[in-house]
Amino acid sequence: MSDMTEGPRDLPQGSDGEQDEGSRAPHRVIGTPPPAEARTLLASEQEPPQRPRIIVPTGPAAKRGERLVATFFLLSGLASIGFVASYVTLRPGSLVDTLRSNLTLGIAMSVAFGAIAIGAVLWLHLLMPKVEIPEDRHSIASSPAERAEFADTFAEGAERSGFVKRPLVRRSLLGASVLLGVAPLVVLRDLGPLPETKLRHTAWARGRRLLVLGPNTPIRPADFSSPGQMITVAPEGFEDNQDAMAKAATIIIKFRPGQLKPPTVMNWAVDNIVAYSKICTHVGCPVALYEQTTHRILCPCHQSTFDAARGAKVVFGPAPRALPQLPLGVDSEGFLISTNDYHVPVGPSFWELGGSGFSGGNEQS
Ligand code: FES
């Protein structure tokens, strides 16, 4: 009958019943690595140095592998060509066309990348020699001898990979790589045409009526009779065009006689009404606040302040130049119109650096 009060059974006992010296080694749990000392012993004393085992694929299996790898590279090349073809033929337009175009482009590009990756993996598994090399731990920095050995190994690997000896694989890989690199370039077309001088012009032109933004109605000078008011206006025909309004948004302000001072261009005002660009010349926020008593236009973004009575010149803040003034007139029905586009570009002042020849003020032509 076993005695349940005995000591632990896993502690080996010497013949005299006492624990001997060798058994004092820490009890090792199955699945954990042996102590470092034991590992050193195993490496240096118990195991003979291993020699690299090299298995070189040859014969019909290697030929089959070569054809398989080349097939995937060719598939990648075809998918790249398919990407370009579908980009050219399936143009986005309606929602369905856009979905179809995106789906086709996505599938073609996925197949191109996937096939080239699979080909590379198969090349590694089916064609390259399998080399088992035991490597002892060493310090991180490589010695000159190790670096030289690496260079030799690299050269040897390049030779064994068959990159030189297997022209079918090499050429199909190079072809697929070139096509894969070139295919995405076609999407550069989506950047659109160069803006040329479009950014320097707005939708304002000779004879274009000013519409009060919101009700979108034209306005006569007599309708705008209270000095101190500021109204946002849009060029007729562009009031719902957000792209055009991003540059063409304009404010008009009514003054009392004698309040307007230089450098306001007096003959661009009608009945003491002046029009300025609503786009701040700092970084393009819409100037939205007008202080009637001081004639100050305020940009809420960085507090640039413009003097509306003096050509909207900057009196405070980071804006580097005045708000451009729009030349105004009246048409045969008495409605306010622009007599031209702005004479200088509206908005942020990178224009001054862009070689436009613009010096910063409201210049009459
Ligand atoms: S955008 Fe107007 S002050 Fe900065």
Model confidence over 49-94: pLDDT tens digits? 666 677 888 888 889 999 999 999 999 999 999 999 999 998 877 7
Nearest CA to ligand 1 atom 4: 302
| pLDDT at residue 142 in the model | 83
Strand, coil or helix: what is 253?
A: strand
Question: Which atom from ligand 1 is nearest to the alpha carbon of 283?
Answer: 1
Q: Using alpha carbons, select from 163, 161, 166, 149 the residue that is nearest to residue 56.
A: 161
Report whether residue 321 contacts ligand 1, using a CB cutoff of 6 Å: no
Structure-block tokens of residue 334: 């008495």
CA of 212 to the centre of ligand 1 (A): 24
CA of 280 to the centre of ligand 1 (A): 6
In the chain, at which residue ranges do the beta strands (DSSP E only) sit?
53-55, 130-132, 208-212, 217-218, 230-235, 250-254, 273-277, 289-291, 296-298, 305-307, 313-316, 325-326, 328-330, 336-338
Report whether residue 280 contacts ligand 1, using a CB cutoff of 6 Å: yes
Q: Which overall architecture, per CATH, does domain 199-353 show?
A: 3-layer Sandwich (2.102)
pTM for this entry: 0.51
Report whether residue 302 contacts ligand 1, using a CB cutoff of 6 Å: yes
| pLDDT at residue 197 in the model | 76
| pLDDT at residue 48 in the model | 63
Domain spans of the chain, in order of start: 53-133+146-189, 199-353
CA distance 24 to 2: 26
